[in-house]
Homo-oligomer: A and B are copies of this chain.
Amino acid sequence: MNSFSYHNPTKILFGAGQIAHLGREMAASGLTRCLLIAGGGSIKQNGAYDQVIDSLSKAKIAVVEAWGVQANPRLDKVREIIALAKEQKVEALLAVGGGSVLDTAKAVAAGYYLNDAWNAFTRREKVSRALPLYTVLTLSATGSEMNGNAVITNTDSYQKWGMYSPHIYPRLSIIDPSLQRTLPFRQTASGAFDAMAHILEYYFANDSAKSTLSMNAALLRTIVAMTDRLQQDAGDYEARANLAWSATMALNGMSGVGLDGGDWACHVIEHAFSALHPSIAHGEGLAVIFPAWIAYVSDRAPARFAAWAKDVWNEESAITALAKFRDKLEAWGMPGSLRDLGIKDDDLPKLVEIILSASPTGVGGVFKLDPKDLQALLVLAF
């Protein structure tokens, strides 16, 4: 088990109706004026917006609103919101939405104090402070509600890049699973797979972090079981709640304890998919690449993949576990190949180029994939 440091200062309020506490929590920190950041308007349908405005108004907190964050959130939107935040002299940010909205708000929080927000992603400028960030989560997937990560796409340069800073952990995140009861199953499943992928990025790093690995197997089994239930009944609160908390746990630091920082090749590859085709949902891109990646790298550490097969899928071999895994994704209606995602064979060289632009010698913290491996893996996933 590797040495590690763990520190996660985010406060969580979890459960139906918890938004009611938002205004009081912000007021207790001395805040009087915030910028609400949101997407295309779904928070007006699911009830989150009205509850937020009601709670803020009771606590006498003024609100400025910034709408229009899209899936695979974009740098130009981040810059636009930073300009608004400066003009409106807000004291804090309040992200109400899914991972795209939260990540946009994180980039705004850090970028507010930089010459340009993109410099946080290229490491050209150091993030040494950020606007205080509060979040209300409406789609469980990215884990962004309880970590210091953000992913933003620079559409000019086809770069979908991530950043981490201890300054962009939300002060408070409210997770009300009942807000997710109206999500189409496709979005639920895509979010669930995003969470599974975070755990899988860590899962094969070593076999000595027994405590984390057994917890991770438990989280993966729970996510699968709860997603199955939600496919039958989108309004199953217990399943929503357990899926939501599992997704938070999947990337709040706990799932990576003692696991060398994880691999993350599949995330880098998927980021290239959606940098090239912004319409690809992150979870769906991951659902295509991860099974192919397991098939491609599992012989580099057979014992670890055999343990995954046993502990997650109750199978004696990685081969049969992988088949079960693919069957499950198919049963959820997830895409099974790059073609299903709308990627053409012509796109492959460009994808390899985008992937290598970030790390020219290859990707993968645990199982290094060189340019030849990447080409072979994409063909396998095609």
Contacts and interface: CB of A to CB of B under 8 A. Distances in A.
A62 interface: no
B14 A5 contact: yes
A19 to B, nearest CB: 12
A254 B211 CA distance: 14
B14 A4 contact: yes
A245 B1 contact: yes
Contacts of A249: 211, 215, 254
Interface residues of A, number: 43
B210 A225 contact: yes
Contacts of A59: none
Nearest to A12: B6
Contact of A238 (B13, B14, B210): B210
Given A3-B14, A6-B14, A257-B245, A211 B222 contact: yes
A329 to B, nearest CB: 21
Nearest to A241: B1
A380 interface: no
A80 to B, nearest CB: 33
Interface string A1-27: 111111111111111111000000000
A235 to B, nearest CB: 15
Contact of A3 (B9, B15, B209): B15
A245 B211 contact: yes
Contacts of A5: 11-14
Contact of A226 (B2, B15, B210): B210
Could you say how many copies of this chain the assembly holds?
A: 2
Contact of A1 (B215, B219, B242): B242
A211 to B, nearest CB: 4
Interface string A172-209: 00000100000000000000000000000000000011
Identify the interface centre among A3, A13, A222: most chain B CB within 10 Å of its CB. Answer: A3
Contacts of A218: 211, 214-215, 217-218
Identify the interface centre among A208, A238, A245: most chain B CB within 10 Å of its CB. Answer: A245
B258 A245 contact: yes
Contacts of A14: 3-6, 257-258
A241 B258 contact: yes
Contacts of A12: 4-7
A175 to B, nearest CB: 10
A153 interface: no
B211 A219 contact: yes
Given A217-B218, A249-B211, A6 B1 contact: no
A221 B226 contact: no
A304 B237 CA distance: 20
A7 B3 contact: no
A104 interface: no
A246 interface: yes
Q: Which 3 A-B pairs have the closest CB atoms?
A: A3-B15, A214-B218, A7-B11
21 contacts: A3-B18, A4-B12, A6-B12, A6-B14, A7-B9, A7-B11, A7-B12, A208-B238, A208-B241, A208-B242, A210-B242, A211-B219, A211-B222, A211-B242, A214-B221, A215-B215, A215-B249, A217-B218, A218-B218, A241-B258, A245-B257
Given A211-B246, A215-B218, 6 more contacts: A1-B237, A2-B15, A4-B14, A208-B241, A210-B238, A211-B222
